[in-house]
Each structure stands twice: as structure tokens, then as C-alpha cells.
Amino acid sequence: MTQIFGASSTTEDVLSGVSLKGKRVLVTGVSAGLGVETARALAAHGAQVVGAARNLTKAEHATTQVRADAERGEGSFELVALDLADLTSVRACADQLNATGLPFDLVIANAGVMATPFGHTRDGFETQFGTNHLGHFVLINRIAGLMRTGARLVNVSSAGHRFADVDLNDPNFEHTPYDPFIAYGRSKTANILFAVAFDARHRARGVRATAIHPGGILTELTRYMPAGGIEAMVARINEQAAAEGKPPFQFKTIPQGAATSVWAGVVAEADAVGGHYCEDCRVSPIVPDDQSSSLVSEGVRAYAVDPVHAEALWAKSEEMVGEKFF
């Protein structure tokens, strides 16, 4: 990590001069936004990219530029079907990938939903926890054997993890009043804890895992927010920023938002990012749980990187999906 990158760095900035020829990558959520740009940047630098999406027709249209850039960069791009809200689909996707026997050098768990109305996945899990965490938990653990020595897992989390810790006693809001952003926060905390536990299990064989916050970007992720919701949130963020003596909030572009995933996946040193949380192309400091923090503050909440907590979530996740993983 000799070159310093930051919040305004783009995917092309962090991959400047980097060849990914011979590298094979899986990116989930390639039908819009960050997933498309992440896949494009990697394929443009020579990687063989497998993109996973629920709606393959939408993904085909969304990834036209990915294919063009892959051809120019001597990379490749292909699609596989994956509905993270349906474990039958998740297991079928894993079976399809395992059947090829082709290894991965990088897996980016990018897909997700935010602030959805209360609902359940096909398997009966609260929508956000089930989609953002449990779907990826099953997929990645089922294909972990394809991740060769030197491979990395990058879980796309969010500063929204500060909204809430996971609730292992009531993950499906059966006894807790539902709040869409509390549910989102729980799922994003789970993304970080999953990376911590996966890294602990696989680092001895040279496979590392990290979680990242891409920053604030206007993508389809905001589609469930009510009219005026984004503006109201930005106003609150700017109040917090002013109170902390910081400049007004600015949204990142999609290439800036995807940069940290790419940086953590192929540019940063594995030992630097493994088991950690990153934002703005750098490893974030840990913020104690009793210290005040806002959405404009840097850092990761201590509860989200606690290894004992990560193991407890792993055990609860296994119980919920009915499978045991190494």
C-alpha cells in the first residue's frame, strides 16, 4: 500500500497499472449500481468476472459496458442466477459454481437491500437480515472450497451498521417493533461480523476476509425510501457534520463508491485488511461502544468487529439456515 488513496479515489485510480489477468472473481448484485461498476473495473483490468444477479434480464442490459470493457482489457464476464432471498436459489448457485471446479481469487458480496418494508424472505427470515446476511452466509460458505490460497472475501457493509447491533435473540423482529433502518443496521453489522469470523477460520490457509463501507452513493439501494426521505437524511447528516466542524455531506460517484471494494480486494495488503473494516480506501479505527458516533464519523463500532460476538452470530446463522460450516 505504497500509494495513498482516499474518499475521492475511483476504481480506475486504485487499479492504475494493475493487471488482473489470470484472476477469477465473483461479484454479487451486478444488475445495478456498485456491483456493475465493480465488475466492470475488474474485468477491464483482465479479470475473469462471474456476476451474480436475481434478475438476469435486467443484469444483461446493465452489464453491456462491462462486457465491452472486459473485451478491451482481455478479461471476461459471465452471469449466474442468484436470489439471496431464497436459499434454494442460493444453494443452486453454489452447486453450479462448485460443479465447474474453477477457483476464485476474490469474492465480493456486494448485493443487498436497504430500509425495506417489513417482510420475509422465502425461507421466513426478516427481509434485510435474510437477504444481506444469511443469503451471503450460505453462498460463501458453500463455495469456500473454491477460494484458493491468497483469495479474499470482501463483504460490502455500511456506516449504517451504527444504527444497530445484531439481535441474536430476535433476528426476525418477532418480538421487537420493526424499524427499517434498525433492520438495515443489524444486517450491515452482520456483514462485518461474518467477515471477522470467516477470516479467523480461513486465514491459516491464506484466505482473508474484510468488510467495507463504500460511502454514500445514490443507487437503486434507496428505492424503498419515501419521497423526501433522502433529502431529510442528508439534512440530518449535515447537522451532525456542522456540529463536528466538518463540511457538508457530498455523495460519492459510483466509481468512487466501488473503489474501496476493489482496493480491499486486490490492492491493499492482505494482512492489513484481513479481519477489519475499511472505508475510503483505508482501514478504519475501532470506535468504542460507549463513545458517541454519527453517520459522518469515521470508524467501526467495537461490537461489529468483536470476535466472540462474531462466533455467536456464526452459530446463530447456522441454526437459522440449518447447515453447519467450518
Q: Which residues are catalytic?
A: 184
The rounded distance, in Å, linking the Cα atoms of 183 and 97 is 30
Which uninterrupted H or E stretch holds 72?
helix 64-72
What are the residues whose beta carbons fall under 8 Å from the beta carbon of 310, sequence distance 6 or more?
A: 193, 194, 196, 197, 200
The rounded distance, in Å, linking the Cα atoms of 113 and 53 is 13
Q: Which amino acid is at 293?
A: S
219: left (phi over 0), alpha (psi -120 to 50) or beta: beta
42, 20 Cβ separation under 8 angstroms = yes
Closest listed residue to residue 210, CA positions, set 283, 137, 267: 283
What are the residues whose beta carbons fall under 8 Å from the beta carbon of 79, sequence distance 6 or more?
A: 30, 50, 51, 52, 53, 56, 59, 60, 63
The rounded distance, in Å, linking the Cα atoms of 202 and 151 is 10
